[in-house]
Amino acid sequence: MDEGIPVEVMLAEIYTLSRAQFGSAVRSQWFYDREACPGCGRRVDFIKSPKGDQLSLNTFIYRKRGVLIGYLLCSRCAKKIHRDAKRNPGRETARHAAIEANLIKGYHDHMNSLDA
């Protein structure tokens, strides 16, 4: 069975594209590798589709630190965000705000753990 492209490879490609588009605003990358979805806290799982099981890889630029943060969502959050985007294109939802807050906290926790 084809397992597709590794998440690390996809994130590296997104990082390269982000650097090309945003220049020095993106200085590094980090992957939020927790099993819990940053949107709701449920376990990250696959999205079932006719093409097979898929993961929802997403990125967020933490502008204050210039970090491209990669993360995975659970199938429920991914589907909800896609539905909301169809209804209100280009609009940020409360779920987006929660995800960003959780990613920023996760990044700070990670950086603080390096000081220990």
Q: What is the pLDDT of residues 15-72, one digit of tens each?
A: 999 999 999 999 999 999 999 999 999 999 999 989 889 999 999 999 999 999 999 9
* Contacts for 27 with CB less than 8 Å, ≥ 6 apart: 65, 66, 67
Half-sphere exposure of 76 (CA within 13 A, CB side): 10
Query: Tokens in use for 8?
Result: 């690390």
pLDDT digits 0-9 by tens, 8-20? 999 999 999 999 9
> pTM of the full predicted structure?
0.90
Distances (CA, A) of 75 to 3, 15, 46, 109: 18, 24, 6, 25
